[in-house]
Structure 1
Amino acid sequence: MKQGVATVADAWRPTSELEHRLQETVRAGDQESYFRLIAESELVVPVPPDLVDGVLAGDAQPSWPTQEEDGRVHVLVYTSASAMRACLGPSYQHFMTVRFGDIAETWPDARWWLAIDAPGKGGAALPIEARLPSWFVRQVAEGDGRPPQVGRAAAPWEELRDQHRDLPRERPEFQPANDVERELLRAAANNDHDLFLQTLAATEVLLPVPGDTDYTLRPGRPGFPWQTREVDGSTVVPVFTSPERLTEASGNVEYIKLPFTVVLRYWPNHDWLLAINSGSPAGGTVLAQQLPGLATWADQRAAQRMTEGFEPQNDVEQRLFDVARRGDTDAFFKLLLGAQVLVAADADTPWGIVPGDPDFPWRPVPVHGRTSIQLFTSLKWMNEAIGSSRFIMPSLLELVTAWPDPSWTLVLNPGTPIDASMPGDQVRTLSGPATPPSASTPPPPEAPAVPVAP
């Protein structure tokens, strides 16, 4: 602020109990309490002045107000009408109130961020403003306001003393083994959680496994041998970004290499922590409660990266891709009902077995923190998700008719532009005439939007 010049932010005062409490958390540096308050609140969504007449006349639908900052698109919301006008100016008179949980449920784009009480052009910056990536919006809505941890926490004296006995007097300077570790090191040094997670989301990691592991077995299949450690009373699964980091932490152990998104997607236990590059400056820890939201975000990013060059493996996938780009959920599932799908099976599973058979291989696994049955529309997506496996090919209609447990979620082609999920209590409601795979569908729009999971 220039000396002698007052701004709206200088004169701003909280106008509600929510804003008073948010201001207290900011002053105390208590981010977790800030986000918990936000999770339980109703927020103001501005209606831009140029859209007001159309919205009031019923000629236009309200849309998410956005603003680009530092190359990122932010959805603008505010904690009160007063805060909105302080940040955007007096021309903003109309708004909607939306609960934070509803914002998370209807989030428009995984690449966008949420900006709370952020200033518009020429507007005032309020002391309670915040910006959240989309995966963290979902996490906060689910009741967990803890931001990720980056860097290694200080070790207790006993651990340091024991390490000191085995280490040389002078430790060599840390040398990143690859570009990923250079980015992680930079993110950890700057406490940049977003850069840290975005770097990991686009890379492959090394996951330790026992020496006698069947190397066709992957996370996402029952019986995968997750390796854990106990650290300060918590169960931790370690992953690494290079053989060098793995050897430093664990010695010469066997491992498999797979996308970081796969590790997140099939996280096995709600109480386990994820440790990246344990003991390294290019490392960090993700809390168990943060993993489901982070996994969903990572899969959405993966699907978006695949969209432009997506190669359907068959006619059904081409048509699913077309309707997914139009966002037509009903057409998506009607088309799918008439198609055969791949279901992973054990080596001794009879080929002709049907979903109604008592021995049908229902093999639920955790996907995004929910117990799920995975289905695929081609061998390519099944192999990329869970590795090589025996499979059977019932129709989706046969599966939903015999669906055995309403607590199981149906998951299709996770991490692809033709992914979908449906809660188990809705699966059996799928009905109506199935669209035969050979039927034609309208051509995709000229400028398709990024598809979202139906």
Structure 2
Amino acid sequence: MATVADAWRPTSELEHRLQETVRAGDQESYFRIIADSELVVPVPPDRVDGMLAGEAQPSWPTQEEDGRVHVLVYTSASAMRACLGPSYQHFMTVRFGEIAETWPDNRWWLAIDVPGHGVRAALPIEARLPSWFVRQVAEGDGRPPQVGRASAPWEELRDQHRELPRESPRQEFQPANDVERELLRAAANNDHDLFLQTLAGTEVLLPVPDETDYSMRPGRPGFPWQTREVDGSTVVPVFTSPERLVEAARAAGTGTEFIKLPFSVTLRYWPDHEWLLAVNSGSPAGGTILAQQLPGLATWADQRAAQRMTNGFEPQNDIEGRLFDAARRRDTDGFFTTLLGAQVLVPADPDTPWGIVPGDAGFPWRPVPVHGRASIQIFTSLKWMNEAIGSSRFIMPTLLDMVSAWPDTEWNLVLNPGTPIDATMPGDKVRS
């Protein structure tokens, strides 16, 4: 019978590295990697509203196994949902060292990527650590107790197998999916509207350098956009299938690493108003979008995404329910009055101190381009933050505290982009 482990694939660089150590039987390297990692701590669905309203503090999620209490943590949001079920949408990210420093009970164990009760999941990178070993790993010593003889390392096993034969490249173009069939039809008929409408509702593959953190997304500072020069213009390539990406990479001699994200997200965070966007470079199902088209296209794509979500929109908490009602009534004053008194999620670096407030010197004012303008992004729930920028550490000030300390009138304030409860406020209007 197939299990989750049979179909499981790593979704982050951390999980790729852990998988390699498990395959190699290298437990020490596994724990050394864990010691330097940032882990996902689930927030139970019944505690989300209380935390966002400031009425409840974060707590360690636990479950009992074989008479021991285990603290549950995960290597990614995907691993968390595979092990706990789809109702778990919210989480915090905490570095392993912080977990060790704030460990709640010496009798408790740490469970990494372990399934919840009643969930049929078994990830191959799961681990259980007693509290004393948690501290040892955090101090830099990843050597576990060991008896018997270790199994052969993965490199030895790998050398015993022949490389699988590779399929010869196909000479005639074959669309890899329905999106490419529509793009091919649009390109053949020179139908720009069909080309853009087809892309607006799909996901694309965005190339990234080797060893890129898989949690990185364009909406976070420092994202490594990959570009190339074509006829004196800087171009960012995106692709609609792995086949198109591999074809272009072979032709250009570049790597094949990528992240997958909605086309609208790529447009929203476009980094430079002079760069062009190339879709499926060198393919009959491709085309180039000019730089001057991108800002308007980005706004349209986000509006389209928000409209598609409206009918089935599910507010994640009471604040979002009130914002959604105000948005449907077009009650701008009511919308911002509700928002002003709420706590919001602000993306932060892993080393940002807990409890920091907007007036402090180290507060993470880190603007990113949103629709071509430097912006500070805020969110009213983890769901919209994760969908926009991926897994990230965050802090939770009130919006009132943020606008009172707003540092730069050139920065826009952007709320929940691409959702039915989104909003943008120019910097010179924020304090008013």
Q: In the alignment, is residue 305 of structure 1 matched against residue 304 of structure 2?
A: no
Cα distance in 1 between the residues matched to 2:241 and 2:171? 18
Cα distance in 2 between the residues matched to 1:171 and 1:344? 44
Q: 1:280 aligns with which of 279, 283, 296?
A: 283
Amino acid at match of 1:384: E
Q: 2:345 aligns with which of 338, 342, 347?
A: 342
SS in 1 for 2:215: coil
Q: 1:368 aligns with which of 367, 371, 389?
A: 371
Cα distance in 1 between the residues matched to 2:192 and 2:324? 33
Q: How does 1:164-313 map to 2 (within 5 A)?
A: 172-251=171-250, 253-313=256-316
Cα distance in 1 between the residues matched to 2:170 and 2:328? 54
SS in 2 for 1:290: helix
Shift of 1:240: 0.1
SS in 2 for 1:404: coil
RMSD of Structure 2 on Structure 1 (CA): 1.1
SS in 2 for 1:327: coil
Unaligned 5+ residue runs, structure 2?
1-168
Q: 1:387 aligns with which of 375, 390, 396?
A: 390
The Cα offsets for residues 381-401 of structure 1, whole Å up to 9 and x where unpaired, read as 000000000000000000000
Amino acid at match of 1:285: T
Q: In the alignment, is residue 327 of structure 1 matched against residue 330 of structure 2?
A: yes
SS in 2 for 1:291: helix
Shift of 1:214: 0.7
Shift of 1:354: 0.3
Cα distance in 2 between the residues matched to 1:428 and 1:287? 36
Shift of 1:171: 8.1
SS in 2 for 1:220: coil
TM-score, with normalisation over the residues of structure 2?
0.59
The Cα offsets for residues 158-183 of structure 1, whole Å up to 9 and x where unpaired, read as xxxxxxxxxxxx98221100000000
Q: How does 1:21-100 map to 2 (within 5 A)?
A: none
Amino acid at match of 2:291: A
SS in 1 for 2:220: coil
Shift of 1:358: 1.2
Amino acid at match of 2:228: R
Shift of 1:290: 1.1
Cα distance in 2 between the residues matched to 1:341 and 1:292? 27
The Cα offsets for residues 276-304 of structure 1, whole Å up to 9 and x where unpaired, read as 00011110111111111100000000000
Count residues with an aligned counterpart.
260
Amino acid at match of 1:401: S
Cα distance in 2 between the residues matched to 1:287 and 1:306? 28
SS in 2 for 1:282: coil
SS in 1 for 2:357: coil
SS in 1 for 2:413: strand
Q: 1:357 to 1:281 in 2, by over 3 A?
A: same
2:414 aligns to what? 411
Structure (1 or 2) with the larger CA radius of gyration: 1
Cα distance in 1 between the residues matched to 2:249 and 2:274? 22
SS in 2 for 1:410: strand
The Cα offsets for residues 178-208 of structure 1, whole Å up to 9 and x where unpaired, read as 0000000011111111110010000000000
The Cα offsets for residues 229-282 of structure 1, whole Å up to 9 and x where unpaired, read as 000010000000000100110135100100000000000011110000001111
Cα distance in 1 between the residues matched to 2:290 and 2:196? 13
The Cα offsets for residues 126-158 of structure 1, whole Å up to 9 and x where unpaired, read as xxxxxxxxxxxxxxxxxxxxxxxxxxxxxxxxx
Shift of 1:212: 1.1
SS in 1 for 2:187: helix
2:401 aligns to what? 398
1:95 aligns to what? none
Q: In the alignment, is residue 318 of structure 1 matched against residue 317 of structure 2?
A: no
Amino acid at match of 2:382: L
TM-score, with normalisation over the residues of structure 1?
0.57
The Cα offsets for residues 28-49 of structure 1, whole Å up to 9 and x where unpaired, read as xxxxxxxxxxxxxxxxxxxxxx
Q: In the alignment, is residue 354 of structure 1 matched against residue 357 of structure 2?
A: yes
Cα distance in 2 between the residues matched to 1:237 and 1:183? 22
Cα distance in 2 between the residues matched to 1:199 and 1:270? 23
Q: 1:426 aligns with which of 411, 429, 432?
A: 429
Cα distance in 2 between the residues matched to 1:315 and 1:171? 54
Higher relative contact order (CA 8 A, sep 6+): 2
Shift of 1:348: 0.4
Please identify runs of 4+ aligned residues in structure 1 that moved more than 4 A: none
Cα distance in 1 between the residues matched to 2:399 and 2:328? 21
Cα distance in 1 between the residues matched to 2:328 and 2:170? 54
Cα distance in 2 between the residues matched to 1:188 and 1:214? 34
Cα distance in 2 between the residues matched to 1:298 and 1:327? 21
Cα distance in 1 between the residues matched to 2:208 and 2:192? 28
